[in-house]
Amino acid sequence: MKRKILFVFGTRPEAIKLAPLILAFKKQQDKFDTRVCVSAQHREMLDQVMDFFELESDHDLDLMQPGQSLFDITARGLKALEAVLDLEKPDVVFVQGDTTTAFIGALAAFYKQVKVAHIEAGLRSGDKYSPFPEEMNRLLAGRLADFHFTPTPSASRNLELEAMKGEIFMVGNTVIDALMLGLELINNKSGIDYSSKFNFLEAEEKIVLITGHRRESFGEPFEELCSAIRDLALEFPEVRFVYPVHLNPNVREPVNRILSDLKNINLIEPLDYPHFLWLMNRSYLVLTDSGGLQEEAPSLGKPVLVMRDVTERTEGIEAGTAKLVGTSRKVIVEEARALLSDKAAWEKMAKAVNPYGDGHSCDKIVKQMEKIFFNQEVLGIE
């Protein structure tokens, strides 16, 4: 008998990291009925990913409202999921990571006594308020999960230390599967000239790629971070600073106010995934507070300065391709200056490493679920 799997997600990074997994389950049509529910906690930024990977949703909760609060998405999303679960009656609900959609997806499944599979389980910063609310979202999703698919050995260890119930499988991070699939799709779509979107770039120009959107940094830390970028742009007029600005109004206001008047800073709209990968690949240095970028940039051999006080993605730091620099204007400027002006320091960080996965995480997850549901022999899974 086929098993029904319901994916619940709602933001850009969840969609990117789940796209290859959904496609992998859909290939096993004889075993799995794969259904997709998007909360649409994000709208445009989610749709960009759905379009690129040619994914369609079976349910769209259309939650997003401008400037939404955590209460908004939690309450409206949880209620809307009740009807979806009543209709679909899945055998298992898959959620990814640490967004509010991931947490309420797990909670809704629990209320209906449906099993929960948590992808990218076990990340911990150890600080309840940083990243906020992600640290608690993933911890609570973990408590509700029956199957924990962790990206790294240390994530598995975190769950074991917390005596987490359920089964733990170390499979790597599906972000690497997405990255590889993304690069493959870009190469297949050979008629598209990705560079044409970036006609402001000079051929040999050094690019610093910037993204930032964390809630715990809103207010003063975010102003500091923007001021640091301004200082750097003034100190290095020959370097181009490209910032695809997140659509959150709490991000856009300070970014536009502090950074819009400098010639070597390009504030651009969020890019679709292939254009973003193209730009990251072309960059010299990445300044970010994003979780996903900390995982992707090491694979592409790009040094990353992580503009946060804590990170749950410690493997890139240990591998030496990422450095935690906080949100102090002075420190960000010093650390970026060192990499922009000292080739040896840059070369030390610019090495391609893959601490987060080998690009086969999705196959491992599908095989594990086959084993769980159909008791099939699975090779290569711990």
Binding region for ligand UD1 (CB under 6 A) out of 39-47, 163-171, 182-190, 306-314: 39-47
From residue 158 to residue 177, the character string flagging contacts with ligand UDP as x (rule: CB under 6 A) and all else as - is --------------------
112 DSSP assignment: T
Among ligand UDP, ligand UD1, none, the one that 244 touches (CB under a kind-dependent 5 to 8 A) is ligand UDP
Binding mask 63-92 for ligand UD1 (x = CB under 6 A): -xxxxx-x--x-------------------
Give me the helices (H) in the chain, please.
12-27, 44-52, 70-88, 100-111, 134-144, 153-161, 174-188, 220-235, 249-259, 273-282, 291-299, 315-319, 329-341, 343-349, 361-374
Contacted by 296, from ligand UD1, ligand UDP, none: CB < 5 to 8 Å by type: ligand UDP
The residue range among 12-20, 103-111, 137-145, 320-328 that interacts with ligand UDP, by the rule CB under 6 A, is 12-20
Over the window 243 to 282, marking each residue x when it contacts ligand UDP by CB under 6 A and - when it does not, the resulting string is -x-------------------------xx-x--x------
Smallest separation (angstroms) from ligand UDP to the CB of 85 = 25
Minimum CB distance to ligand UDP, residue 39 (Å): 15
Question: Nearest approach, Cβ of 104 to ligand UD1 (angstroms)?
Answer: 10
Q: Is 246 a catalytic residue?
A: yes
Structure tokens at 52: 């690129």
Work out whether 100 is an interface residue with ligand UD1 (CB under 6 A).
yes
Torsion of CA 169, 41, 304, 256, to 10 degrees: -170
Q: Is 316 in the site for ligand UDP (CB under 6 A)?
A: no
Partner from ligand UDP, ligand UD1, none binding residue 276, C-beta < 5-8 Å depending on class: ligand UDP
211 touches ligand UDP (CB under 6 A): yes
Cβ atoms of 161 and 278 within 8 Å: the answer is: no
Could you tell me what percentage of the chain is helix, strand and coil, using 3-state DSSP and rounding each to the nearest 5? 50, 15, 35
120 is catalytic: yes
φ, ψ (nearest 5 deg) of residue 322? -125, 150
Answer with the entry of ligand UDP, ligand UD1, none that 335 interacts with (C-beta below 5 to 8 A by kind). Answer: none
Q: Is the peptide bond before 151 cis (omega within 30 degrees of 0)?
A: no
Binding mask 208-247 for ligand UD1 (x = CB under 6 A): -----x-x-------------------------------x
| Complex with ligand UDP: residue 45 or 159, whichever CB lies closer | 45
Burial string for 214-253 (b: 16+ CB within 10 Å, else e) reads bbbbbeebbbbbbbbbbbbbeebeebbbbbbbbbbeebee
Amino acid at 171: V
| Contacts of residue 199, Cβ cutoff 8 Å, sequence gap at least 6 | none
HSE value, Cβ hemisphere, 13 Å, CA-based, for 44: 10
Task: Give the burial class of 54: count Cβ atoms within 10 A of its Cβ; 0-12 exposed, 13-18 middle, 19 or more buried.
Answer: exposed
Distances (CA, A) of 77 to 5, 63, 106, 283: 19, 7, 12, 37
Can you tell me the distance from the alpha carbon of 189 to that of 167, in angstroms, rounded to the nearest whole number? 40
Judged by CB under 6 A, the chain residues 5 through 24 that form the site for ligand UD1 are 11-13
Is-catalytic flag, 148?
Answer: no
Euclidean distance between CA atoms 211 and 188, whole angstroms = 27
Residue 16 binds which one of ligand UDP, ligand UD1, none, with CB within 5 to 8 A depending on kind?
ligand UDP
Instruction: Look up 43 and say whether it is catalytic.
Output: no
| Shortest CB 64 distance to ligand UD1, Å | 6
Verify whether residue 315 is a known catalytic residue: no
Task: State whether the Cα torsion 330-332-333-334 is positive or negative.
Answer: positive
- The verdict on whether 347 is a catalytic residue reads no
Q: Please, which residue, 304 or 372, has the CB nearer to ligand UD1?
A: 304
Nearer to ligand UD1, 270 or 320 (CB): 270
203 by Cβ neighbours in 10 Å (0-12 / 13-18 / 19+) ranks as: exposed
- Active site residues per annotation: 98, 120, 134, 213, 215, 246
Contacts with ligand UD1, residue ranges (CB under 6 A) = 11-13, 41-45, 64-68, 70, 73, 98-100, 133-134, 213, 215, 247-249
